[in-house]
Chains A and B, each alone.
Chain A
Amino acid sequence: MLRIIWKMTLRRLNPVLKNPIAIIISMFQSIIWLVLFGNLFSSITKISRFEYNSYIAYMLPSIIIMNALFIGIYLGLGTISDLQSGVLHRFLVAPIGRLSIVFSDLLYLIVLQLIQSVILILISLLMGARLPLGFLGGLLYIVVPIIFAMAVGSLSISTALITKKHESMINVMQFCSMPLMFLSSAFMSKELMPKWIRWISKINPVDWAISLERTVVNSQGVIPYTIALFIFTIVSISFCMYSFNLYRHSL
């Protein structure tokens, strides 16, 4: 089964391997935000106590999570294409199981996010940011977004199976991505947030992931955030498997 999962992952990876520029293009927004926002708001660090050496260093974990959010949501578009082209049906009639279909997509996401996390870290290092906790911090900035991407990717596949239309997926992206990012400590520290945003951020998985990454400077809450993130991921993947049943039922 592992062999089959790997081969199916390769199907998703092949276009990217044949044309590596696609990796940069799909993370272009993240790069722009990191570089432009990072520089534009560089004086923010003077307003309050930011435990990072620069605003870019502060934004890096957020941008990596934003990247994971975007590519996670995009995953569902691939499912919709497969659904509309008949490829998904072919896979469902083969003796391979939903697990292979879902995990191969998630593995593709893991590879992509891994590469993109590294690129974003390198860019911020080039711009003078310093990683708190050094190598260990870097590791956190790689592992957490991967887990987060898997959760978002699973939900995206579920949405694809339930809505079955490209437009619906794109609407979900429009409505969810920016609110999720701004209702978290992505760009502003919790103390400086209005109370209502702080409250919403408590139930926002984006914030859990970012806060987990921020434990490199402030080790408060490592365990709760880790547990919350893991539960979120497991529930998302389970729901994804369940949506295959919903999809089959509607055929």
Chain B
Amino acid sequence: MTLKQLIKVENLKKTYKGNIQALDGLSFEVDKGNIFGLIGPNGAGKSTAIKIMTTLTRADSGSVRIVDYDVNTEPNRIRKIIGCVSQNSGVFREGTARENLILQGELYGMNGRELRTRVAELLDDFGLNEAADRIAATYSGGMLRKLDVALGLIHRPQILFLDEPTTGLDPEARSSLWEIILSMSKQENVTILLTTHYLEEVDRLADKLAIVNAGKVIAEGTPASLKQALNEDMIHVSLDSTAKLQTDIIEKTLSSLENVYRVNIEDNIIKLRVAKASSTLVDILQVFAAHQINVLNASVITPTIDEVYLKYTKK
């Protein structure tokens, strides 16, 4: 029987000194081979959850099973098959990339030729060959992050935890890092759990995501299903600038349409929040035609994860 859910988090609770409740019944599951995103405001409990899943600390109650091992009773078995890239780097700056990688491999029981080959392979894949024997204190932020990810992958883990992997990197470094992570994880069959504040990353990359707030999951699903559940698209219509608009009448007529939630008219651009954009667009265009207003163009804008996120996290 092959396990489908590699990570099973159930009802995690954790309170810190001073009555700070970091986790208040957090539950979710991650399927094998997926990229799973955990997003939420600062203080929502994401980093605490990762610390618990990576056996760094313990929850007050609840359970976490990683590949069917319990984090409380069999932490060492879990440690052998997971890799973690935490928010602040794990690189020791007084050493070189090669030295960091070699020590890391040894911590996971690798040695000799197998280790040396693997280190050379990683240095190559991550584009760190040139800097490999310079001390890490001289590396740029992007290089340090790449080294962090290499350190997390050296022992070929089944699961890779990434806690805000691209925060603080410039756009080029970010896209380069993601390229490497994706190709390596596909190559080595790694399931990924990541937390990030860059919502377009989860939008683009995650197979599934969970929005966490105040220590609980408040929404969960694939990016597509979450966006669809919003039941809200935007339609932008731009009108011929010579058209003289009877703003109030147009606004009233459009608002009264079924499936139109909100209308915003600014000069010649009409922005509408609607449901079922494709059919509502037809109704809208008919309104303009009926009033003999010339429409230059119209576009349908599907929501982004940003909108999903804001909807669920706005208090």
Contact = CB atoms under 8 A, between A and B. Distances in A.
Nearest to A100: B107
Most buried by B among A3, A92, A95, A251: A95
A248 interface: yes
Interface stretch (B82-90, B165-173, B184-192, B281-289): B82-90
Contacts of B88: 84-86
A29 B94 CA distance: 25
Summarize A's interface: helix, strand, loop or mixed: helix
B51 A251 contact: yes
A249 interface: yes
Interface in A70-119: 82, 84-87, 89-97
B110 to A, nearest CB: 11
Contact of B89 (A8, A85, A249): A85
B151 A90 contact: yes
A11 B151 CA distance: 16
Contacts of A249: 57-58
Contacts of A48: none
A90 B144 CA distance: 14
A174 interface: no
B91 interface: yes
Interface string B56-83: 1110000000000000000010011010
A31 B121 CA distance: 48
B108 interface: yes
B92 A82 contact: yes
Q: Which 4 A-B pairs have the closest CB atoms?
A: A90-B90, A95-B79, A251-B57, A94-B107
28 contacts: A4-B107, A7-B106, A11-B92, A11-B95, A14-B99, A15-B94, A85-B88, A85-B89, A85-B92, A86-B87, A86-B88, A86-B89, A87-B90, A87-B92, A89-B56, A90-B90, A90-B104, A92-B55, A93-B56, A93-B79, A93-B84, A94-B79, A94-B104, A95-B76, A95-B80, A95-B107, A95-B108, A249-B58
Interface of A: 3-4, 7-8, 11, 14-15, 82, 84-87, 89-97, 248-251
Interface of B: 17, 51, 54-58, 76, 79-80, 82, 84, 86-95, 99, 103-104, 106-109, 111, 151
Given A85-B92, A89-B56, 4 more contacts: A11-B99, A93-B79, A94-B79, A95-B107
